[in-house]
Structure 1
């Protein structure tokens, strides 16, 4: 390609239409191809006005110069053994091999760039009063509770951890894959698991986050560096205060190497028969046991999507136990009100007030 450009520029030079910019390029090409200077000289000698002829002395000088150049080329060739001519099939084979090599290298580069590209993420969001189920690309199943958000890749890469990010509450049944650990990231902690079923509750605004293990085994990492890790066994849960007072009222749950995050390990909470408060919502049951009315109100808010407020803050510390499945919000409030510990009303805007 450069040689074709060189010949074109030489022709423009001989025609007298070469620009200053083209002249600079031509000089660079002549330095790259020194033998082209001879072609340039021939072009220069032949581009003469019509009717002008060389005299005998000029022709002799040109012939001697050309013979001298040819002698230099021959002497150089004698010192360098030329490779033997290859058969055409061998030439074509070499060309084909070169093409395949280029394709292989190019394909490898493309695939490596593709693997290093950011993962394409999907997101599932549930509004207050709704719940959803999701089948992840690896076959793992997720139940997403009301007012929650799950970010996950549209396709999990091979030989790399399967990672999702949760805000809110979700129940996971993870497909086992030893080569690709499953990780759940929340604002309070990170969970690592190979194959199991567990529940994670980490709503923004709540004073704690909870990881509950039903079966299998999980590791709860309380910091990015993994310096504080808690291993859970089946039927155990880990409660992590979101604003622990021992961290000087810090708004983050990440502990420094000198600090230990205060956590609380306990058993899952059965209410009746096989109903567990931490996972009852997956069966469309609303269950709580000895829970403050303030937190019961938060559950009802998420479950029914209705705002609940307190006109009397002292009522927030009342404790209640209950299991509900098909009842309406009004029926649940009426059932709790039978304890004669509080009264509830609804204003014109539909907001519930506890007094």
Structure 2
């Protein structure tokens, strides 16, 4: 095609002539069947994730794969190629990764699954991950797209276990650990409960042992390491939120995912407010808010599903 970018712009905008539309779709089908395209590393993966999350919010149904009409998928792919500044669809010729799957936990409900090697995964409410149906290479690799997960990794020294999240690749040495990736809070956190993991940061490998945690501030090379209660961090997998000197904005994320609400702070300094508390996942939202406010000299107001925390005024 003489000017693929210009034609794709028209296609996405719905301004193609019938003949132009026919030519694009015919060419697309000749290039590659949509189901065989390798999507690894391309921006439309994240768009598909966002679309899936919106569908889940509207239907409140358990996580499942969405089958989209080929025409819709092509429009999405074309749009994102334009955003990325791509001039062709040569990505379709990359090697196929047919066995990778994505799963997203619905709001207010966590998921449990067992991977092909026997590794157990708990995906917290609102989180998303990508994993292979079968591990076939030298390494066992999965990816946390967003949210929080806890893993109990099956030991297999011959096949190292790797977890990718954002720009971080975590090397696991047979362990129980937690990964949090919340782009909206600009941080990624790894906490070890048992065993050890290695995280490459700032040009060196940071090794974490039980009850150690590293927090990475995304968008910069800054990170911090701390001693924590690794068991408490993973309390949500057994129906309890155990916060030990935890930041209020991190607690807010857990509450947002558990109760399907939005939390903000009237004073931005409250985000770093440290709180110790224990919450059962069966507790009502009103009980949780009352407990947090009474024990920590806070107040909160609700506007529908929007909760605003404030410093208590005496």
TM-score of the superposed pair, with normalisation by structure 1: 0.55
Say which one has the larger Rg.
1
Q: Specify the alignment match of 2:218 in structure 1.
A: 242
Superposed CA deviations along residues 166-224 of structure 1, whole A, max 9, x for unmatched, are 0221111111112211100011411112422111111221232111112222211237x
The aligned residue for residue 86 of structure 1 is: none
Specify which of 296, 300, 304 is matched with residue 251 of structure 2.
296
- Counterpart-to-counterpart distance in 1, 2:298 and 2:212: 33
Residue aligning to 2:275: 320
In the alignment, the residues of structure 2 paired with residue 119 and residue 264 of structure 1 have an alpha-carbon distance, to the nearest angstrom, of 38
The whole-number CA distance in structure 2 between the counterparts of 1:310 and 1:316 is 7
How far is the alpha carbon of 1:340 from its aligned partner? 7.0
Q: Quick one: which of 111, 124, 139 aligns to 1:161?
A: 139
Correspondence for 1:132: 111
Q: Is the 8 A contact 1:315 1:342 kept in 2?
A: no
Residue 192 in structure 1 maps to residue 171 in structure 2: yes
- Contact 2:122 2:237 (8 Å CA) reproduced: yes
2:285 is aligned, of 325, 329, 337, to 329
Describe how 1:198-237 pairs up with structure 2 within 5 A. Answer: 198-222=177-201, 227-237=203-213
More strand by share: 2
Deviation at 1:317, TM superposition (A): 4.6
The RMSD of aligned alpha carbons is 2.2
Q: Gaps spanning 5+ residues in structure 2: where?
A: 1-94
Distance 1:205 1:188 in 2: 15
**Structure 1 residues 165 and 343, CA, compared in 2 at 3 Å: closer, same or farther?**
same
Q: 5 Å matches for 1:1-355?
A: 117-158=96-137, 160-166=138-144, 167-222=146-201, 227-244=203-220, 261-269=221-229, 276-313=231-268, 315-325=270-280, 326-339=282-295, 341-347=297-303, 349-355=304-310
Per-residue deviation, 1:119: 4.0
Displacement of 1:153 in angstroms is 0.8
Q: Displacement, 1:243? A: 3.4
Larger relative contact order (CA 8 Å, sep ≥ 6): 2
Partner of 1:39: none
Deviation at 1:315, TM superposition (A): 4.3
Cα 1:193/1:297, change in 2 over 3 Å: closer
Helix, strand or coil for the counterpart of 2:292? helix
Aligned residues: 214
1:62 aligned partner: none
CA offsets, 1:288-328, max 9 Å, x none?
A: 12334333322211221111233444544543210011321
In the alignment, is the contact (CA less than 8 A) between 2:265 and 2:271 conserved in 1?
A: yes
Could you tell me the TM-score, scaled by structure 2's length?
0.62
Note if contact 1:240-1:263 (Cα within 8 Å) is conserved in structure 2: yes
